[in-house]
Amino acid sequence: MQSPIYLTGTGQTRFGEHWDMSIKDLMEESIDAAIENAGCTALDIDMVIVANMLGEVASNQAHLGAMAASLLPHHPPALRAEAACASGAVALHTACALLESGKAQTVLVVGVEKMTDIAPSKIAAGLMGAADAEKDAPCGLTFPGIFGLIANRYMHEFNLSRERLNHVSARHHKNGVKNPFAQFRKEIPAEAISMSPKVADPLCMLDCSPISDGAASVVLSTKFESPIKIAASQLATDTLSITDRPTITSFAATKDAMSAALQEANIEREEIAHIELHDCFSIAALISLEDMGFATPGNAIALYEKESPMTINQSGGLKACGHPVAATGIKQVIDVSKQLKNSKSSYGLAHNFGGAAATCGIHILSHA
């Protein structure tokens, strides 16, 4: 980063089923919370970026930039960013670019998703938009199906048993108990994971992140200082369809974004104390840890079988917190900032991807 970018305000709604709240209500609650704990006032915000994927599908609502700006007294300029489940990271990256260019000095980034208003089958069809509509969808594939293919191949290549995979979701649920913003705050024993209903073999219901409503907002500024800074903001992409990739047990976009982010932050991987990673499905957590270099291929499960000095998804991850898709990337950054303040460690990382990691965004936060 040329000039330091500070994370001055953070706020989120609880993730879960909010039948009494509209997309606008969700945004408003998280924006109010973020501005309240920011080192500036609402009037200091000179740009708004909204991350959202399913506004048209689930709420018949486009034009979310203006909707968010209208919640502020001075209606600042606004835009919307979309990259499926990576919308949050893409919005943060866009904000960093605006701040670095000097076009803006204080930017409000809002991630919002309203998913429970329509039938699950409709949401599933909307989420399938994150894959290649003409290559992946026509055979009847769903997103859990895509990760079912990935999980089956991974288990075949690395001889991972279904029992060992159970530890991923079990750990996330255990972590989520202490998070007041999490959708599920109940510990679930490992053996219950594979006993839950099958969704897309070998994945069961408790391997999948849920459908959730929620919003998360941050205020980023080059003008108003805070102890937490954005040390790196990197995006990388890969083919939309998994059929166009040489392998499906590793995600190239995660690898590319990770190496660029470490270089930008100018740190070693070992200096990272906390990570929030994109566990949309249990198998994704393992692949992501390997692609980020925290484990060798096929061995990430060991990080879930014992305690490690680096915390992984202390918030509960997407599994326990819920996954209002575009809000997730923002929420991860909020959680990492809280973890850094709490542990007084120096570096934390948020890993957010869209689709089958066709877009990956990595943000490294530093704590003074």
Partner 1 sequence: MEEQPLPAASTFSLMRNTPAAIHRAQKDLQRKLQEGTILSFTTVHHTPEGFPAGPRNIGLIELEDGQKVSGHLISETDQPIAIGMKVLPKMRLSSVNTQGLRTYDVSYEIPVQQTVKQEFPGYVLALTGPSGVGKTTVSVLLSTKVGKYVERVPILTTREPKEGDADEYVHVSPEEFLALKNEGKLATSTCIPSRDEKRWYGYRTEDIDAIWQKKMIPVIITEMNLLQGLSSHYGRRSILSFGLMPPGKSKRQMLSSLLHRLRDRGRDTEKQIEDRLKNAEADLDFFKTRSELFDDVIVNDNVDTVVGQLGGLVLERVKA
User: Which residues make up the interface to partner 1 (CB under 8 A)?
Assistant: 57, 120-122, 124-125, 128, 133-142, 144-145, 148-153, 156, 197-203, 242-244, 248
Query: In this structure, how many other beta carbons lie within 10 angstroms of the beta carbon of residue 111?
Result: 36
- Cβ proximity to partner 1: between 64 and 155 the closer is 155
Distances (CA, A) of 225 to 38, 76, 107, 122: 10, 21, 13, 43
Contacts of 223 (CB under 8 A, 6+ apart): 40, 44, 105, 106
Q: Which is nearer to partner 1, 54 or 110 (CB)?
A: 54
Structure tokens at 49: 């970026």
Rounded least distance, CB 350 to partner 1, Å: 29
Whether residue 39 contacts residue 224, with contact meaning beta carbons closer than 8 Å, is answered with: yes
Nearest-approach distance from CB 198 to partner 1, in angstroms: 5
Q: Which is nearer to partner 1, 140 or 180 (CB)?
A: 140
Instruction: List beta partners, residue 364.
Output: 232, 349
Active-site amino acid positions: 85, 323
Least distance to partner 1, CB of residue 8, Å = 41
Q: Distance between CA 314 and CA 171 in Å, rounded?
A: 9
The 8-class DSSP code of residue 309 comes to S
Least distance (Å) between residue 260 CB and partner 1? 28
- Report d(CA 56, CA 64) in Å as an integer: 10
Q: Which is nearer to partner 1, 182 or 286 (CB)?
A: 286
Q: Mutual orientation of helices 162-176 and 143-158 as an angle, nearest 10°?
A: 120
